[in-house]
Structure 1
């Protein structure tokens, strides 16, 4: 973590960090991490699932392996969320229960789809359990998915008005706890609007950013896009100068991000601003539209956000829960040349609670296709769309054989096209059979590079995670492809907050 306006503390922080790292390496020396439902954790090595469904765990400090009941566990993170192998298949099959399987589609008929996978072998799945088949899990090539760990993220502080304070090395003030905390597979934020979570060079000129956000009471988030991050590594004298300035909220963001676009998002509305540098070298903000866009988040305090942004087309689209909320033109001239992403808590009233978490964050290339994800679903017909994002047809997906899709459209028209040329096939929603699962018995295995399969864990060895899947039956999953085993499907949002919240 980098704090530009606290350079006096860097050497001390590095000493502590290196000592902690050395301690971890000496004490743990193992690659897996077990998190408990009460937020305790234990390093070690996954061994097996026994006949009673207990997780058998080995820690170097224990003479014998220990068995834990699943209802006491939150998740297992394998090998620091860096699996030994990643699936080589670029087709994805989404099931009615939300599972996403990377696979090669061998065939599809009126009754079944046949899949070949490198993590579970051959799978045969009833057709009425299919939701979609697509070549990419998102709009285009996946650039990032996580946060599986903290790698690639850095926390940066906005300048604070403390530049006149001086401390001897022995009298350094205690470092405040960081606002952004990585826990499990999520980033958590409390209420510090001066802390920015930055991922440098994360974006492309035309890309899609997706994430899920959940909150307790209030939700205010600033998303800086195409940030130039000129002050990520400030010299001491520059940091001191910045700290003496009287800055607005947007100017504080600009001190970290430089020129960029900032989407301000809450459960009520959304706004887009442009931060630009004036002739004096000062950051100023310009609101791109005078009217806020209503978000109207549901009472469950959770929403799925997608931001599609194109520098060449000077356009930003905001989707909430699959519905297009707003389209903003970026203007005749795009001022920023950066590619970084920065997130910050938008709460300026620190007396009010603004605790939220961000998960399922992905960045992918965007083809420029504008349709809302919800518009790609038809209740009584299948829908096929080709890679160009324009050609599509509604009708019946008759079959897939030998890498070719046979699709019947209106007026007895027939389309025969290589599966490699197909972007997505969405199946008629009224034909999809929904399964009711007992969440108390369901665990979820997250696969590399992207995928999820869920079910009830049964007896397994150290090489496999065997599950009883409600749609497929018994499936042995090679542990070499697993990044995380999650037991928390039955836990509420508040159960997953860090204790300090």
Structure 2
């Protein structure tokens, strides 16, 4: 049984708050320069006040010159204790508990902005118990816990069986950059410069049933590998007697076995423009890296040469299944059960094939293959998975509200009449229905009943909260650890910055613009 939603170490560490108090802020300019110090506030004209201990007077900066401010080295003073939230039609996610809903409004209690009343047509999703289980990681707001694993072997080339063997474009690197790691963390993202052989890894504590979600942006023909359920271990090579100088075994298709050296024993999924394949990595008794393909019928996907997408991997170590969704749509599924053997009877009395899912760890990792142009990884979510196999798009309807229960299987469609006293009241196709909010994972409102979005004004900024949350609006003023925003959807918001980690003043209008200056 999935345990009730709770935030693990992420939220319950007083030590993190102490670190946040002592950490400095970082101001990143639109031209790529940056300066550390303290964010001291902003007035109604948009002038930002910045202080440093080595400068006698506060320094004023015009907000149109600022890209983002990273608060307290991306450590919140007090992160929210619950990942429940509502999603607005513009993509904002306001963390808080929905206490009431009627035909016109949604009332939400928040720790950062008090009680808020939102127009119902501005809300697309209510998520009382999101992710299906415990949220284990959300970020990367900082690089804490991540490791850059350097490789001295040649970069793995794209799989020649993938049907995507066009040479990817690369950015010209300056001389002297060869010794720099291929990955750099900035803001709330990991950037790969491209052409490197380095990996980034995180001991994420992936459970048996895990959900991994991340946003990937790329400039030219993506070719990236994602490791999961990896033990991140690297055993020493055992030399056989008389074979100390023997030639090492040749690696298959572009040194793909090098992934075992980077991630240890586990599974690695390789994404390319038109193809995705899965392989298992491990070490043999002599400590030599091994890799084998996990076969499946069709593994073709469609990714544009330049773009971004949200990838979701759902893996079940006990049942032996691995599923991929891209932008909410089902893409491909693997079954690691043994096709040539029969095991004990299942719940239905039929023989069940033995599961051969061979990945003992809880680690996560990324590497860009070959000479691919730079990529960006952001919005990483790691959580327990409740077993839901449907795509996110299947939970959307033009005319009907859809309530998905936290058990991952049951759902109801119809019209949400209201939320009162901790109960969802719904007019379903077979009659009225009441469901306790603590049994509801998400409620998706009908598309036809949502407000149409318009282009955000240039004056808008976005405040990113830990562990989950994004609130945008035009800044009115900021002082004493708070900021006042004017939101086109939610009205005036007086927001406590204690759970905030990033103030984003400019997104550049697209991820390509963010890379015009190397982070």
State the TM-score, normalized to the length of structure 2: 0.82
Change (3 A) 1:404 1:354: same
Out of 55, 78, 82, the residue aligned to residue 62 of structure 1 is 55
Q: Which residue of 2 aligns with 1:222?
A: 225
Change (3 A) 1:58 1:308: same
Q: Which residue of 2 aligns with 1:328?
A: 334
Change (3 A) 1:133 1:189: same
Change (3 A) 1:119 1:291: same
Residues matched between the structures, number: 456
Change (3 A) 1:243 1:418: farther
Query: Which deviates more, 220-229 or 132-141?
Result: 132-141
What is the DSSP-based 3-state SS (H/G/I as helix, E as strand, rest coil) of the residue aligned with 1:458? Answer: strand
RMSD: 2.7
What is the DSSP-based 3-state SS (H/G/I as helix, E as strand, rest coil) of the residue aligned with 1:420? Answer: helix
Q: Which residue of 2 aligns with 1:104?
A: 97
Change (3 A) 1:327 1:106: same
Measure the CA separation in 2 of the matches of 1:298 and 1:377.
24
Q: Which residue of 1 aligns with 2:369?
A: 346
Measure the CA separation in 2 of the matches of 1:78 and 1:136.
28
State the TM-score, normalized to the length of structure 1: 0.85
Higher helix share: 1
What is the DSSP-based 3-state SS (H/G/I as helix, E as strand, rest coil) of the residue aligned with 2:96? Answer: strand
Change (3 A) 1:245 1:148: farther
Q: Is the 8 A contact 1:399 1:407 kept in 2?
A: yes
CA displacement 1:273-327 (0-9 Å, x = unmatched): 1224445543322211265522212465111111111101100000111100001
Segments of structure 1 that go 5 or more residues without pairing to the other structure are 1-24, 162-172
Q: Which residue of 2 aligns with 1:365?
A: 384
Query: Which deviates more, 185-194 or 353-362?
Result: 185-194
What is the DSSP-based 3-state SS (H/G/I as helix, E as strand, rest coil) of the residue aligned with 1:378? Answer: coil
What is the DSSP-based 3-state SS (H/G/I as helix, E as strand, rest coil) of the residue aligned with 1:254? Answer: helix
Change (3 A) 1:344 1:243: farther
Segments of structure 2 that go 5 or more residues without pairing to the other structure are 1-18, 155-175, 338-354
* Offset at residue 140 of structure 1 (A): 2.4
> Does 2:74 align with 1:81?
yes
Q: Which residue of 2 aligns with 1:317?
A: 323
Q: Which residue of 2 aligns with 1:167?
A: none
Q: Which residue of 1 aligns with 2:271?
A: 265
* Offset at residue 61 of structure 1 (A): 2.5
> Does 2:181 align with 1:181?
no
Measure the CA separation in 2 of the matches of 1:252 and 1:111.
57
Measure the CA separation in 2 of the matches of 1:157 and 1:87.
35
* Offset at residue 472 of structure 1 (A): 1.4
What is the DSSP-based 3-state SS (H/G/I as helix, E as strand, rest coil) of the residue aligned with 1:489? Answer: coil
Q: Which residue of 1 aligns with 2:25?
A: 32
CA displacement 1:327-373 (0-9 Å, x = unmatched): 111233122211111211111xx4xx421111111111101110101
How is 1:16-31 mapped onto 2 (pairs within 5 angstroms)?
31=24
Q: Which residue of 2 aligns with 1:169?
A: none
Measure the CA separation in 2 of the matches of 1:192 and 1:291.
31
Measure the CA separation in 1 of the matches of 2:509 and 2:445.
31
Measure the CA separation in 1 of the matches of 2:131 and 2:436.
20
What is the DSSP-based 3-state SS (H/G/I as helix, E as strand, rest coil) of the residue aligned with 2:118? Answer: strand
Out of 120, 123, 137, the residue aligned to residue 116 of structure 2 is 123
How is 1:34-433 mapped onto 2 (pairs within 5 angstroms)?
34-160=27-153, 176-231=179-234, 247-248=251-252, 249-278=255-284, 280-289=286-295, 293-298=299-304, 301-331=307-337, 332-347=355-370, 350=371, 353-411=372-430, 413-433=431-451
